[in-house]
């Protein structure tokens, strides 16, 4: 239903607003109470909105509605949506829904540590907004790590719009570019991001721009957000003669200005090589494989077909 998608998108976009606010306060430094409080409150609001958006996307709007609205017709619910009269379930109810076996395993796969952080941040937010919260010395000591953990391991999952790893979007893509570039200098963020990616993917590769092992098997860097799996007019990949993986990248956009030869770098093992682009069939070849059946400067393998 078009309006249901519109509702989920509105929730998601609002989550992005609060998430960006949270990142801004993280970047200001969590050595001040003001920045701690505002980053926590904003990130918790973002969690609640992103969770609702995610559940609507995967399970439909009725899953987040209170009775009797959840039993109404599509037309009646849309009317309530247009009139800003939808009544949604409390955050606790929706969080507990994700704990059900089918919901958690199928979509979220949250573990105890993630739920523990969700509950802790809900407690922080409620106490701050309705009373006050006195942070212990231990909480203050690890607050930056906890906030960034929530940012990556919870928001990172809630804001992924697909369970298909190849087409998954990362939470980082929705962040304000200026604030995100500041976040990249945070060592805690970089460490947590790497741990998150290690859990998500069987293997990671080194980004030629970041020099960090944050490239997914689908040739996308989750740190600098560069997609290397694009047109062969920009990047091309060939097999590595050292590790055997087809992860040697080259600048295919400039190869023809270098007599169809250019340096390539393996994103898996780090070895460099020379890549050749055939003048006739335009295939890319690792010259240092010394495969006589491959194209070379005076030979195109397609001539023998």
Condensed to tens digits (0 to 9), the pLDDT of residues 73-109 reads: 999 999 999 999 999 999 999 999 998 877 776 778 8
d(CA 194, CA 183): 14
Cβ count within 10 A of residue 253: 14
Cα separations (Å) of 114 from 79, 89, 92, 302?
A: 36, 21, 14, 54
Whether residues 76 and 175 fall in one domain: yes
Q: Report the predicted TM-score, pTM, of the whole model to 2 decimal places.
A: 0.88
Which pair of structure tokens corresponds to residue 84? Answer: 């800003």
Phi then psi dihedrals of residue 286, to 5 deg? -80, 110
Q: Is 198 within the bounds of a domain? A: no
pLDDT on residue 231? 76
Q: Is 118 within the bounds of a domain? A: yes
Q: Is 141 within the bounds of a domain? A: yes
Mean pLDDT, residues 56-84 taken together: 96
How does 138-149 read in b/e, with b if 16+ C-beta sit within 10 Å? Answer: eeeeebbebbbb
Dihedral (CA of 178, 182, 188, 194) sign: positive
Whether residues 155 and 299 fall in one domain: no
Q: Is 261 within the bounds of a domain? A: yes
- Its domain, for residue 33, covers 2-183
Q: Domain end: 142, 163, 183, which one?
A: 183
d(CA 275, CA 294): 12
Lowest mean pLDDT among 22-31, 54-63, 285-294: 285-294
The pLDDT mean for the chain works out to: 92
Whether residues 178 and 241 fall in one domain: no
């Amino acid at each position: 239903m078009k309006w249901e998608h519109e509702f989920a998108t509105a929730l998601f976009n609002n989550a992005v607003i609060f998430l960006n606010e949270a990142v801004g306060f993280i970047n200001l430094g969590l050595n001040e109470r003001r920045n701690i409080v505002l980053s926590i409150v904003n990130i918790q609001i973002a969690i609640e909105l992103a969770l609702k958006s995610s559940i609507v996307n995967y399970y439909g709007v009725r899953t987040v509605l209170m009775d009797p609205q959840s039993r109404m017709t599509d037309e009646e619910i849309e009317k309530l949506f247009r009139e800003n009269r939808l009544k949604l379930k409390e955050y606790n109810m929706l969080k507990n829904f994700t704990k059900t076996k089918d919901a958690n395993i199928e979509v979220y796969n949250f573990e105890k540590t993630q739920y523990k952080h969700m509950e802790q941040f809900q407690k922080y937010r409620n106490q701050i907004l309705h009373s006050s919260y006195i942070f212990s010395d231990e909480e203050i000591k690890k607050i930056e790590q906890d906030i960034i953990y929530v940012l990556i391991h919870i928001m990172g999952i809630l804001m992924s719009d697909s369970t298909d790893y190849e087409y998954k979007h990362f939470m980082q893509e929705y962040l304000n570019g200026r604030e995100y570039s500041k976040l990249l200098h945070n060592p805690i963020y970089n460490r947590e991001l790497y741990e998150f990616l290690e859990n998500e993917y069987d293997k990671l590769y080194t980004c030629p721009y970041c020099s960090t092992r944050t490239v997914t098997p689908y040739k996308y860097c989750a740190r600098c957000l560069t997609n290397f799996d694009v047109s062969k007019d920009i990047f091309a990949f060939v097999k590595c003669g050292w590790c055997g993986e087809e992860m040697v990248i080259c600048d295919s956009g400039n190869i023809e200005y270098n007599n169809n030869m250019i340096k390539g770098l393996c994103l898996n093992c780090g070895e460099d090589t020379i890549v050749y682009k055939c003048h006739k069939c335009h295939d890319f070849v690792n010259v240092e494989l010394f495969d006589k059946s491959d194209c070379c400067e005076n030979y195109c393998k397609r001539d023998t077909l």
